[in-house]
Chain A
């Protein structure tokens, strides 16, 4: 109970209840019938009128992008910090970024010389490096994104900005590493005397697709990781498995050959093929190789299941993230 001493007067403004807030971009979630409080109290109410409008769960994607655009400087600075901090005290600096794809490419090439996957006109190292370029960007931005909220707990307890900035920062950071790896690919192609064709203009679009696919996992994963660190621990294994389920080591044409032409799994072959293509990375990696190396357009017939899955899951993942967001400061 409140215990007011008579000598102290309360400010009148305290009870000034109803204030015009409609124009301020406010959401108030109405009281449910299950509310055991007798008074009409606003539950989980948030009404803030800072310079940016409040994000509504049902708001259009455009609004989300607009809001994030306002924070572009912060994302850029945080990404710059990530890169600086990671490489500051190392001798090789950013060169470390190429170590992973190059090593994997060499291992895969060695492996391929034993099992002998036919790669057509294009040398296998270039094919696998192109696949790794897409795959590693996806893998690293996803795993960075999932742990991003927990690893920034200190900041989360200190200041507010939209929390999705953390997973996004992970993506932007990896974009820089992607650019460096792309240079290596260019060198590799030059070495083997391969020239890119005009269809390379598809790559930016494919990059956006990778980012969206990565965020689909990263947003929900980051939110879950706040409550259960199991997610962060399980993720490397899941991603490892996902790599084998994507055409990284072997080309997509081999999968088509086995399942669609040879019907290797008998009556289940077509179903298996569809299941395989649900993985967005199947279409993305194939499209990377097609557009960069073969001068072809992406194979939409192969890509649509992945696009559909991403389009459905990304808003759900984002909504889950925003829903969990308010607990981050208390729990992370």
Chain B
């Protein structure tokens, strides 16, 4: 039996201003007299959404801004109600939405723990029991009796997160709160989340723009767009679909983009990829040879140009940046249209969507002549199922494996690499290469 059931849920908001009392009364009067009154057009934040979540399932919800993610979570947490449709939730819910929103500046950390705990539905006895844990996790031992208006913003959210995750509830609803505090604390939050999921077996609904995080934590992902569920399935597939879709958006944004750093000496005309047959493409086969071609026009002479073509994920993790270095040192680039080709053989990137950045430096001091963070994007596809199964990660390492199998008489576990086991297997020539 699913623990969360969402049936045909639609949530509408009316656009525009709320009318004031006078307007409402006048409109009411008009309605009575049969005169049509202006209707504010509705905006569908969620449009006929259906899904259910099983107990212990970890469901990620991704989508661009305004897709309806937070509205959906708010409906599940009963904060707001659907315009139509029904929702059933068969367990207590701990919502981690706007962590720290209920904290009161005038109260001390200690007082806030009791207050916020009560707001989140904990009993005072429970809070007393968990008090030390909460303080220790938030790393606020010294400051616990200080009014939290004197806290730094990081301290406040740490306290909020620490209280919220202590709530004993079967379902955890997490809205974009893992990115609190410094890196060390984010790591802690993430670990606590993983602990809740993997060891305590809680049902978790997670909304985040950090798709990599979603992919790591969730077994199943919903992709929302304009209030509709666009995809619902295993995390890697849905996340890749999301990358592709947001890449389309990034691409269209790029066309109007003017924030490329440029000295005006060159203009980027085109950037495209060629596969090993010389065809222009943006879909590459896994481990194929590829040539990145950059077409630009130089308006002035440029001495010692250097070029860099960088590969990055769509969420801006730089993977590699091939540089020309000293290749064109001492040479001069004449004005005119040029094409730069950068050939990469056996591209080791795993299936997914990636984008390219391009930088050109030149002159005596190697100043930046042109720099664009995103000149194009491409998708790597797989031909066989082997690379599909390696979706965890970004590129492939040339790894060789060897498994030394122990003998059954000594009853050693498979893969033990003690010296005697190695000797024994070598003797029987039972090397096992995978």
A13 touches B52 (CB 8 A): yes
Distance, CA A85 to CA B102, complexed state (A)? 13
B114 touches A154 (CB 8 A): no
Smallest beta-carbon distance B425→chain A, Å: 42
A5 touches B241 (CB 8 A): yes
Which listed residue (A5, A24, A37, A81) contacts B107, Cβ 8 A?
Answer: A81
B74 touches A329 (CB 8 A): yes
Chain A residues near B237 (CB-CB < 8 A): 7-8
Interface centre among B7, B13, B90 (most CB of A within 10 A): B7
A330 touches B21 (CB 8 A): no
B101 touches A47 (CB 8 A): no
A159 touches B97 (CB 8 A): yes
A89 touches B119 (CB 8 A): no
One digit per residue, 1 when the CB lies within 8 angstroms of any chain A CB and 0 when it does not, for chain B 215-239 equals: 0000010000000111111100110
Given A19-B5, A45-B85, A48-B89, do A73 and B118 touch, yes or no (CB 8 Å)?
yes
A46 touches B86 (CB 8 A): yes
Q: How many interface residues does A have (CB within 8 Å)?
A: 57
Smallest beta-carbon distance A274→chain B, Å: 30
CB-based nearest B residue for A15: B50
Distance, CA A176 to CA B238, complexed state (A)? 56
Distance, CA A312 to CA B86, complexed state (A)? 32
Q: Does A192 contact B (CB under 8 A)?
A: no
B84 touches A43 (CB 8 A): yes
B1 touches A19 (CB 8 A): yes
Chain A residues near B241 (CB-CB < 8 A): 5, 7-8
* Residues A1-26 near B (CB distance < 8 A): 1-5, 7-11, 13-17, 19, 21, 24, 26
Smallest beta-carbon distance B153→chain A, Å: 16
B54 touches A5 (CB 8 A): no
Given A7-B237, A21-B88, do A13 and B2 touch, yes or no (CB 8 Å)?
yes
Interface residues on B, range: 35 or more
Which listed residue (B52, B86, B106, B120) contacts A89, Cβ 8 A?
Answer: B106
Q: Does B271 contact A (CB under 8 A)?
A: no
* Residues A202-228 near B (CB distance < 8 A): 227-228
A158 touches B232 (CB 8 A): no
Q: Does B79 contact A (CB under 8 A)?
A: yes
Q: Does B145 contact A (CB under 8 A)?
A: no
Chain B residues near A51 (CB-CB < 8 A): 92
Which listed residue (B84, B95, B101) contacts A154, Cβ 8 A?
Answer: B101
Distance, CA A55 to CA B234, complexed state (A)? 38
B124 touches A77 (CB 8 A): yes
B80 touches A158 (CB 8 A): no
A73 touches B7 (CB 8 A): no
Which listed residue (A42, A45, A227, A329) contacts B79, Cβ 8 A?
Answer: A329
Q: Does B283 contact A (CB under 8 A)?
A: no
Chain A residues near B78 (CB-CB < 8 A): 48, 50, 160
Smallest beta-carbon distance A158→chain B, Å: 4
Given A9-B233, A14-B232, A154-B101, do A19 and B88 touch, yes or no (CB 8 Å)?
yes
Q: Does A161 contact B (CB under 8 A)?
A: yes
Given A5-B241, A326-B80, do A47 and B92 touch, yes or no (CB 8 Å)?
no
Q: Does A41 contact B (CB under 8 A)?
A: yes
Smallest beta-carbon distance B376→chain A, Å: 23
Q: Does B20 contact A (CB under 8 A)?
A: yes
CB-based nearest B residue for A35: B84
A28 touches B86 (CB 8 A): yes
Given A10-B233, A16-B52, A26-B88, do A159 and B79 touch, yes or no (CB 8 Å)?
yes
B101 touches A155 (CB 8 A): yes
Chain A residues near B79 (CB-CB < 8 A): 156-160, 329
Q: Does B111 contact A (CB under 8 A)?
A: yes
Distance, CA A201 to CA B272, complexed state (A)? 89
Chain A residues near B115 (CB-CB < 8 A): 77-78, 81
A8 touches B238 (CB 8 A): yes
Smallest beta-carbon distance B54→chain A, Å: 6
A4 touches B231 (CB 8 A): yes
Given A45-B84, A155-B119, A227-B18, do A160 and B228 touch, yes or no (CB 8 Å)?
no
Q: Does B318 contact A (CB under 8 A)?
A: no
Q: Does B121 contact A (CB under 8 A)?
A: yes
One digit per residue, 1 when the CB lies within 8 angstroms of any chain B CB and 0 when it does not, for chain A 155-189 equals: 11111110000000000000000000000000000
Q: Does B87 contact A (CB under 8 A)?
A: yes
CB-based nearest A residue for B123: A73
Given A16-B52, A159-B77, do A50 and B21 touch, yes or no (CB 8 Å)?
no
B98 touches A44 (CB 8 A): no
Chain A residues near B8 (CB-CB < 8 A): 39, 41-42
Chain A residues near B104 (CB-CB < 8 A): 81, 85
Distance, CA A158 to CA B84, complexed state (A)? 21
Distance, CA A260 to CA B106, complexed state (A)? 54
* Residues B89-135 near A (CB distance < 8 A): 89-93, 95, 97-98, 101-102, 104, 106-107, 111, 114-115, 118-121, 123-124
Chain B residues near A43 (CB-CB < 8 A): 84
B80 touches A228 (CB 8 A): no
Q: Does A265 contact B (CB under 8 A)?
A: no
A24 touches B232 (CB 8 A): no
Q: Does A122 contact B (CB under 8 A)?
A: no
Q: Does B328 contact A (CB under 8 A)?
A: no
Q: Does A331 contact B (CB under 8 A)?
A: yes
Distance, CA A175 to CA B114, complexed state (A)? 21
Given A74-B118, A89-B106, do A158 and B95 touch, yes or no (CB 8 Å)?
yes
8 A-B residue pairs with Cβ-Cβ distance under 8 Å, sorted by A, are: A49-B88, A50-B91, A51-B92, A74-B121, A159-B97, A161-B119, A161-B121, A329-B79
Residue ranges of B at the interface with A (Cβ–Cβ < 8 Å): 1-2, 5, 7-8, 13, 18, 20-21, 24, 50-52, 54, 74, 77-93, 95, 97-98, 101-102, 104, 106-107, 111, 114-115, 118-121, 123-124, 220, 228-234, 237-238, 241
Question: A42-B85, A46-B81 provided; 5 other pairs, C-beta below 8 A?
Answer: A8-B238, A19-B1, A81-B111, A84-B107, A160-B78
